[in-house]
Amino acid sequence: MTFYMTPGSCSTGIHILLEELEEVFQVTVVNLPAGDHFKPDYVAINPKSTIPTLVRRDGTALTEVMAIAFWLARTHPRAGLWPEDAERQTRLIEAMAYMTGTVHGQGFARLFATSSFTRNGADHDAVRALGREIVRTGFAVLDAALEEGPYLGGTFSAADPILFYLEFWADKLALPLPERIAAHYRRMLARPAVQQVLREEGYNTASLGQVPLTQPGTVPA
């Protein structure tokens, strides 16, 4: 398989899953600042011009973090990355949709791609402020989802690397995290596959995980 990714992006979550599953794959780095995702050769693979993209062994391309994570989990049943009972499955889908669509797509996107929400520079601060509010609320919601166990869904699943990349972004931006979210982040950082992926993507793992905490029961500041 060929994995099209950008270091430090949402594709890091899929990179972690591939390493957790000990999959054999080759990596093609897509340079987003250089506009690689709009070049004809990449658009031919992924017309959405998004990352990540996973080209599978049959030559078909799979896009969207949530879809790729689900496919990897379901095609590796022995790894136990996807629950069997309908309730836990539903709750994981609920969490994954919220993380990718709201916390990432509406929150962090306003912080990282502010100009895509408004072309008026005078509005950029307001856009970023709304993004921080969405992220703060999102982490508070996800913190409550961790009440029943150390991972989303209780045990490690395909959803946890998605939460990890959001936590990683918060760490890079020095955004405070609720206590359970911060503990989940540190737990993920201790996993060998996560350590390997971060090193491969050029990050010093020793500098990560020292995130400020919010007060219990409050929305992160």
Q: What is the 3-state secondary structure (H, E, C) of 205-221?
A: HHHCCCCCECCCCCCCC
Mean pLDDT for 165-176 is 97
Overall average pLDDT of the 168-186 stretch: 96
Q: What percent of the chain has pLDDT over 70?
A: 97
Q: Indicate whether 57 pLDDT > 60.
A: yes
Mean pLDDT along residues 87-109 = 97
pLDDT at 124: 97
216, 215, 163, 214: which is closest to 189 by C-alpha? 163
CATH 1.20.1050.10 residue ranges of the chain are 86-191
Structure confidence at residue 137 (pLDDT): 97
- The predicted pLDDT at position 149 comes to 86
Q: Is the pLDDT of residue 37 over 90?
A: yes
Fold of 86-191: Glutathione S-transferase Yfyf (Class Pi); Chain A, domain 2 (1.20.1050)
Kindly report each contact of residues 75-78 with a partner whose C-beta sits within 8 Å and lies 24 or more positions away, as own/partner.
Answer: 76/21
How far apart, in Å, are the Cα atoms of 144 and each of 36, 81, 138, 148, 158? 38, 21, 10, 9, 19
Mean pLDDT over residues 155-176, rounded?
97
pLDDT band at 215 (very low <50, low <70, confident <90, very high): low
Return all residues near 32 (Cβ < 8 A) that are at least 6 apart: 6, 9, 51
* Across 69-79, average pLDDT: 97
Beta-carbon contacts of residue 95 (< 8 Å; ≥ 6 apart): 142, 145, 152, 153, 159, 163
Within the chain, all domains assigned CATH 3.40.30.10 are found at: 2-79
**In the predicted structure, residue 89 carries a pLDDT above the cut 90:** yes
Question: In sequence order, what E strands does the chain have?
Answer: 2-5, 26-29, 53-55, 61-63
Whole-model pTM: value is 0.94
Topology (CATH level 3) of domain 2-79:
Glutaredoxin (3.40.30)
